[in-house]
A = this chain, B = another copy of it.
Amino acid sequence: MTAPVSSWSAERVARVALGRLGEPGDPRLARLVDDLGAEQVYAYLREERDVAGLATDVAARLQGLDPRGDLEWALRRGFRFVCPGDDEWPAQLRDLDRSEALNGRGGAPLGLWLRGAGRLDELSPQSVAVVGARSATTYGASVAGEIAAHLAGECATVVSGAAFGIDQAAHRGALAVRGPTVAVLACGVDRAYPAAHRDLLGYVADTGLVVSESPPGCAPTKLRFLSRNRLIAALSLGTVVVEAAVRSGALNTANWAAVLNRTVMGVPGPVTSASSEGVHELIRNRDATLVTRGEHVLELVSPSGSFTVPPARAPEGPRDRLSALDRQVLDAVPVASPAASESVARTAGVAERTTRDALRRLLDAGFVEASPRGWRLAPASGP
């Protein structure tokens, strides 16, 4: 299994090294690599030549840098590093090249560290992100799980961030139906954050993928969460936010989805719940489309018309099949004490002859009953 050291291309080695030197989502680094190529940028920084103000920032990290060692160590642990040019590199990440920055973060990742049995290029094209509050309510967690289970059951990949609350419910919903799911972390793929989700991440990796832009060993920092969120959005066709307070990382992911022209969706909740406030704000400002079920999500992210949901309707009753005229006459028929057809006609405001014809149709259909004293509703038609 162990590849000889020489098999790592200089490009791959440079990207791994730059991933250790810089911070994920640093737009300066992404732009430099885009302009000069990873090898050249790595060479400059090794020579401590200052490019875009980076050299002094990364100087302290040059010591002990061993990208080949990183790659070999990862290989032994069953992790892998994918980067542009690899078959497994998802084409949709290219959208990050041209995107604007949010919170000072942006640009395409130099590469991604992967852990798991899934293939990123196969999982990403039909992915949907399901994200939300860590402090989710049981309502939110239950709805996130339902939606994720529906998506995964239809072979859509559920992407989330493995956090407490909604993220956890989303991964679990997908796992519960043995569907594909991808966890994108703000720390190295060898770590579990939160630690309580070590097992959950193991299950995700069994069939799906654990993904990170940060090299193995890295701890999650606030900045890395913000960088991570852009990857969740970029790796998905759309982002569903289930519960988010007005200040929530999930809204940052939603903003990234919007910047990247992905579909942004929100699941509403009680207006009395602070956990839904951020989602309501997204929908209210028309940045997000309201969704309540997995079908709605699929309809929005699928190619036009390939998956449509008929609007929710109550089942049609026998009354609905009556003509407007017959309904108008039926409304005028008394419940208890029978009335003559002239009286029904007068109440309905319909001509007598027309009323008599309608009453006969309603009699045949079982809506009214006739007696020598007149017409009244059949028992089953009563209010």
Residue of B61, B280, B342 near A268 (CB, 8 A) is B280
Which one of B139, B247, B311, B313 contacts A272 once the chains associate, using CB atoms below 8 Å? B139
Is residue A69 contacting chain B, with contact meaning CB distance below 8 A?
no
Known: A23-B349, A57-B350, A332-B221. A139 touches B270 (CB 8 A): yes
- Interface size counted on chain A using CB atoms at 8 A: 60
Alpha-carbon distance A313/B283, docked complex (angstroms):
15
Q: B331 to A222, Cβ gap below 8 A?
A: yes
Given A61-B349, A139-B270, A313-B247, answer yes or no on A292-B296 (Cβ-Cβ < 8 Å). Answer: no
A43-80 Cβ-contact flags toward B at 8 Å (1 or 0): 00000000000001111110000000000000000000
Residues of B within 8 A of A246 (CB): 311-314
Contacts of A245 in B (CB 8 A): 314
Question: If A57-B349, A143-B272 touch, does A104 touch B311 (CB 8 Å cutoff)?
Answer: no
Residue picked from A56, A222, A271, A272, most chain B C-beta under 10 Å: A271
- When chains A and B are docked, how far (Å) is the Cα of A103 from the Cα of B346? 21
Let me know if A354 is at the binding interface, CB within 8 A: yes
Cβ < 8 Å to B, chain A residues 233-274:
245-247, 267-272
A22 at the interface (CB under 8 A from B): yes
Cβ-based interface call for A289 (8 A): yes
B57 x A327 contact (CB < 8 A): no
- 8 Å CB contacts to B: which residues of A339-353? 342, 345-346, 349-353
Q: How far is the CA of A210 from the CA of B311 in the complex (A)?
A: 35
Q: Please name the residue on chain B nearest to A267 by beta carbon.
A: B271
- 17 additional A-B pairs beyond A60-B342, A60-B346, A104-B324, beta carbons within 8 Å, are A21-B349, A23-B349, A56-B353, A59-B351, A59-B352, A143-B271, A222-B327, A223-B328, A223-B331, A246-B311, A268-B268, A268-B290, A277-B312, A284-B289, A284-B290, A284-B292, A286-B289
* 5 residue pairs, one from A and one from B, having the closest CB atoms: A268-B268, A56-B351, A60-B346, A271-B292, A247-B314
